[in-house]
Amino acid sequence: MKPADEERIAARLAKLMAMICVRNTGIEELHAGTVPVTHTGDYSDVFITDADGRQIPWSDASHLDDDQMRNLMRQIVDRLYTFHLKADDAGFRDHLDRWLAVAERWDEPKLDEASLATIAGGEAKPPR
């Protein structure tokens, strides 16, 4: 297979997997809600007041706790697992084809240089 064909297929698959396996998961709950107003554009002027009265800069605040992160990752892993196991199922592929039209309107993916650097450097750091 030609490299251009491999890249085209990989791009379509990446966008489709993101659409099917990541969108409409718990990430949508994180996206929902009121977006704070920022006049600086970088949210350095936005603070969160916690229950103890601490003023926490928006950029320093965790936006999800460990349980939320764990649940989100479980949901995404389960969807990726389902995607791979059902890839040959005709009904599932029909479902994918319907969503592909939406996913193909997204920006084209690019190589993630940070990921490549981590792989090359052997700096695998497990998350906390």
Does residue 27 fall inside a structural domain?
A: yes
Q: Which residue has the higher pLDDT, 122 or 78?
A: 78
Question: How many structural domains does the chain have?
Answer: 1
CB burial readout 23-37, b (16+ within 10 A) else e:
eebbeeeeeeeeeee
Does residue 8 fall inside a structural domain?
A: yes
The amino acid present at 56, given as its one-letter code, is I
Percent of the chain with pLDDT over 90: 72
Does residue 14 fall inside a structural domain?
A: yes
Does residue 127 fall inside a structural domain?
A: no
Contacts of 71 (CB under 8 A, 6+ apart): 26
Does residue 59 fall inside a structural domain?
A: no
Does residue 55 fall inside a structural domain?
A: no
The mean of the pLDDT values for the chain is 91
What is the residue range of 110's domain?
3-32+64-121
pLDDT at 82 over 80: yes
